[in-house]
Structure 1
Amino acid sequence: MKKFDKKSLLLFVALGLLLSLSVAIIYLSLTTQPEPVESLGTIRLVVFCLLLPILIKYFLQLIIAPFYSIFEALGRLKYPPIEPLVTVLIPAWNEQVGIIKTLNSVLDAYYNNLEVIVINDGSTDKTHDLVTQFLSDYQHIQFCKPKIKYLRLPNGGKARALNQGLKFASGEIIITVDADSVMDKDTVTNLVKRFNDPKVGAVAGNVVIGNKKKPLAIIQQLEYLYGFFFKRADSVFNSVYIIGGAAAAYRKSVLKAVGGFDHQIITEDIEMSTRILAKGYKTRYAADAVVYTEGPADWTGLCNQRLRWKYGRILTFLKHRRLFFSNNKKHQPYLTFLILPLAVYAEFTLLLEGPLLLLFYGYTVFASDYFPLAFVIVLMSLIIGMQILFDSKRRFHANLLMLAPVAWIIFYIIDIVEFQALWRSLKRLIRRESLQWQRWVRAGVMN
């Protein structure tokens, strides 16, 4: 049996204490009769009103999300009569730890009409040696297996690497996979079948944190499960605006029509999916197209990752600001009047979250009114349980069931990381500073 390190043991002790706290709060909410505190009650009402738009969005998405499965069960999505040629692009920059595992997972896909292009974006580690050795061995056993192309480029960034890969891609459908990820065998098939409508320009896969043995990874696993669930609702309205490069599929003709990936924005994947929507195409989500990825293994890596995501999304919003509240018939009102405006509003409330939480918990303690907090704990536990039940990898996520009662605390931890990313992003925006990719320690996606 593997021994826990001190940090892991400390985390599980803390979770046990938090679980006990959750039970105590629920008990107090059922047994304590609060004294009326009029002024504090008014403060809590103000806090509630500030959060109301976001709460409405989440409840709306929770109601709509189950219809995702109903839409598919009714046959909205049918397999194409012929399997189109699919090109999988694997951009790699210093990915010696995971590149071979990624390649093997793609080559093992249950899809016959496939080609693979590995783009080495100026790696300085052993990535080139590993790939060339793999290709040498692969040539002897290739036969009817997918063709692999290998591009070795000077370092120019992920967007440039992808655009170079597109020049050599023969596929009608382009799939991008990060070189620290592992693809399920039926992921390609499940992504392709969402392109049954010619207006579908891109499809997001279901990204799952694979290295779930350490506490920080488990936190990210819960966060990904929670966040990706809401893409089901966005997919019902063909309005998935965040399609991460770790599991993304595009119609090649659409990529060419919109001009390829943007070199200026560090989150080229988010910018691309937003630009595709701005051009009037549809985007969807494939919950059963699973790609396991490696989350940052330390807090510094996580904070820097979220800085990149946050800053890139802000730049994307500024570039596509005309999409907000657009009444153009080619745009979905769900996207332009709900999702995008509330994404910005959520960043505003994140800046105010500290004072808001102080007011909320101040009222809870002084008024001895624990019912709202107990409601949040119970509701969050039910939501996490429902999300695990609906997920195609419910057994993989079974470890998260024990975290459901304390998910409300875990999301506060994530909010702290998001807050620092937002604060640093705003400072960079004011100073007009650029942002480069950050290195972080890799251990392997399934380690």
Structure 2
Amino acid sequence: MHKIFSPIRRLHFYAAFFITPLLLTLSLTGIGYLFYTNVENNIYQDEFFSDSHTKGHQSLDDAIQEIRDVYKGYEIQKISIMDEPYNNRVTIGNEDGESRYIFLDEHNQRVANQNAKFTYSNVLRETHSSLMVGGSFVNYLVELAACWTIFMIISGVYLTFKSNVLKKTKKKTSFLFNRRIHAIIGLIIAIPIFIIVLTGLPWSAFMGKQINQFAEEHPKLGYSALKATPPESEDNELPWATRNKEKPSSKKDPHADHHGATSSVIGAEGQQSLESIISQAENAKVKKPFSIVYPADDKGVFTVSKSSNTGVTGLDVAPKEETTAYFDQYSGKRLGQVDYEDYGIVGKWFSFGIPLHEGHLFGTANKIINLIVCLTFIAGIIFGFLTWMKRKNASSFSAPPQLKGSIPYGLIAFLIVLGIIMPLFGASLIVVGIVEYFIWKKQKKISQK
């Protein structure tokens, strides 16, 4: 038992020590994001609910054209058709990657606009996923922290039951107290934290893509058209299971355009109005709230979707209400529709898992449960740190000692399996192994002197 216990204890310590700052950041930003709808409903009351001072009514298509005229250099990315009492929202973006939200009242008059980057929800989301720095390296770093958290959960449960930490003892010291509380907290939140981490992996930079690829290659387990990726495309309000689904093409009526082909994707000759597409969507039983994405080219289609993980206040729906419908941009005919029932097991799992992770799957209760789990997790980190401080010698790092002798094959097999399941974890283990080898060599030289 000692041969397995010692190296796992050492790995558990190093994992906790090096990723604790990141885990605290993820936990605190996660707590803030849990309540983003409550916060935004209060701080953005004018944008979300107020009316414009401009009198009169105009069509939604006229409002879109007005936005294009006012915001030169920006393209219309999507239109969010909200349910009462929310104002509709138009998302625009430019070639520099800047996005803005334009809010329209019930008369389709402009109420206000926001810089999308600095809204409460987007700041918390960006900090949570990429520490507001962005870039592949940081995304991989966050994912690596999630992978090591899974290892810490498994190793922590093992260490708790293989040690005497839960046994009552007459000896009373702050070290034993802190270690006992750390272990008990770990056992209590092991499963909830595991679920939270697992349901966050679809958004990850590396494993997210692997999950999507697995779903595509195994239709019975996933979904035959499932080509999801992390939310980086302009279709980031589509349901997870259809975000990269190959869209059907419109069949252009040759009599609709008497002046030749046009490259415009908004207001093209013969193109259906937004009001018409909204009407067609409602006829297809796609009720508010939903998002509309314009055709990408003259063969593209209008994409209308309801999603359980939009990240937009007032736009999320229950997983079973998810749907994505495609409409011919010239005739308005519905060309296809993918509902929740059409998803495979992977699509269905993550349609529930992502809102569970974000805290809005089953209302306020979900937020409260996630809040308690996060706060308890932070408490576990604190007691783990206090345990180390009570054991730490002033002149040393006081890490658990290295194993003297060969590492058991069972432990090696366990780490290999985890490394295969979580490739970033596997790659980091190789680095750890190299560092441990040099530490061992150094200590061996010292002992021989």
Task: Give the TM-score normalised by the residue count of structure 2.
Answer: 0.24
More helix by share: 1
Q: Larger C-alpha radius of gyration, 1 or 2?
A: 2
Relative contact order (C-alpha < 8 Å, sep 6+): which is higher?
A: 1
